[in-house]
A and B are shown apart, each in its own frame.
Chain A
Amino acid sequence: MVAVAQHPNIQIITYAEVTNVAGYIGNFKVTIKKKPKYVDWDLCTGCGTCIEKCPTKKIPDPFDLGLGMTTAIRKVYPQAVPGKPFIDDKHCRKLTEGKCGVCEKICPTKAIKFDDKEEYMTVEVGAIVMATGYDLFKWEEVYGEYGYGKYPDVITSLHFERLASAGGPTGGKIKRPSDGKEPKRVAFIKCVGSRDDTKGKSYCSRACCMYTAKHAYQVKDKIPDSEAYVFYMDVRTAGKNYEEFYQRSLNAGAKYIRGRVSKIYQRGDSLVLKAEDSLLGRPLEVEVDMVVLATAMVPSEGAQELAKIIGFSVDKDGFYQEAHPKLQPVETFAAGVYLAGACQGPKDIPDTVAQASGAAVKVCGLLAKDMLATEPMVSEVDIYKCSGCGFCVPICPYKAISLVEITEKGHHGPIVRQVAEVNGSLCQGCGACVPACRTAALNLKGFTDEQLVAEVDALCL
């Protein structure tokens, strides 16, 4: 991360989103919306005094998925890059109630800007890499048998990551959310929302088998005399050194049980899982202190809208559609737009990094060229026939036609009039504009009226 921040060729724009993309391969014009941070990052030195002094300290920390608390002015997490804070405008007292303003008073560089506004900027680029990643499936909305999220000790694997992390709310000690006790018995359920046509998604999320093996190992490793139960449908370890990794969890004593959990309910202090061990063909009941759900990866919020803005397609599940599953896995149907990581489909880090490097090569290959050749079979306008009616403008699906003013010589001085103009780089040669032109001023090079009529005549001879 630091390498990215320090690279002289990389400009990082955080807390921002792309709102519009115009142009075409080699020449995109991109509009970026910068959300107000209420802190001038040019002035801020990242000293952190404001974060210490902020009195609004009881905000459930989104980074810890609500497992810990944070302040209204904060960094996303202490090692954030860039290492500067922003103000959470939904919780800041000054911004919501007009009171407080402590940070403004104490900031040594006067970097706090309560009147910060949304800002738009445009940049010009030759290529775009999509790397919007994934979100986790909202299991609480559909898995009633697991309690719809009403049991505090039924958490997701990402919660577990925060609990196990040295930088997390518990400093890396695994404690259960309800009472902060160390859970001695932990159950993991895989494929929650994945490979489940009725309630979730049909696909396999690909990383969960492995991170669950990691989590089961961590339970055995960090908690003495603990039990880790893993409920699974299959164990998929198709990766270099993956099977060995899974074996390590087994050797550490993780208990793998093949079968789906049909119900979770509370019994006293514990959670009871009802399941079937499908290898033994026997119903089963396990009592545990905490349950961890390995939930499916789904496309990140807003990913689909972004695809629409840029002009490429998504697959049936909303992941970005590659141009060819085998031969063009990093290209999209929009020339000059490439894919990297989980936005194209669920993946783990090794695959993500490989694909990202692949996309980078495609970009470099494009940018290494001095000029880009364009297909000559595009529409052209005969300005002497064009009446400037503009009928063709809305018909073009690629926004390639615009009206321009031209000046012509007339008997009584120059005449200014409008005509259609085709941008040959945007035109994809579909020819939809040609039949729409009432004065036959438009023609598609390579497929002119004259050529097509000659073909019809020759065939009907």
Chain B
Amino acid sequence: MSIAIAEEKGWEPKIIVFACNWCTYAAADLAGLNHLEYPAQVRIIRTPCSGRMDPMLVLRAFNRGADGVLLSG
């Protein structure tokens, strides 16, 4: 499905973010503090460190229907 068609049908992407507690998660909090708006389809999962990230978790997310995965830390 192209993005154009998808948008027409009211489709919304499901984005899963794995965020390191010490940097990205803190940065997302800072974005909040400054009221910097971003699309509401983003769902953040807190990880203790990006070192904890297992490729298995990324695959799991896609497998369960995530449209995008952002790994940041």
Contacts and interface: CB of A to CB of B under 8 A. Distances in A.
A431 B49 contact: yes
B52 to A, nearest CB: 3
A459 B51 contact: no
Q: Report the contact-size class of chain B (Cβ under 8 Å from the partner).
A: 10 to 19
B45 interface: yes
Given A431-B47, A456-B16, A460-B16, A449 B61 contact: no
A431 B49 CA distance: 7
Nearest to B64: A460
Interface range, A side:
20 to 34
Given A431-B51, A432-B51, A435-B55, A459 B60 contact: no
B43 A452 contact: no
A457 interface: yes
Contact of B45 (A397, A429, A449, A456): A456
A444 B45 contact: no
A42 to B, nearest CB: 50
Interface string A430-461: 11101100000000101101001101110111
A449 B59 CA distance: 13
Interface in B7-62: 14, 16, 43, 45, 47-49, 51-57, 60-61
Given A434-B54, A435-B54, A449-B54, A456 B49 contact: no
Nearest to A452: B57
B49 A430 contact: yes
Interface in A330-377: 377
Contacts of A397: 51
Contact of B16 (A432, A434, A459): A459
Interface in A141-184: none
Contacts of B65: 460
Nearest to A449: B54
Interface of B: 14, 16, 43, 45, 47-49, 51-57, 60-61, 64-66
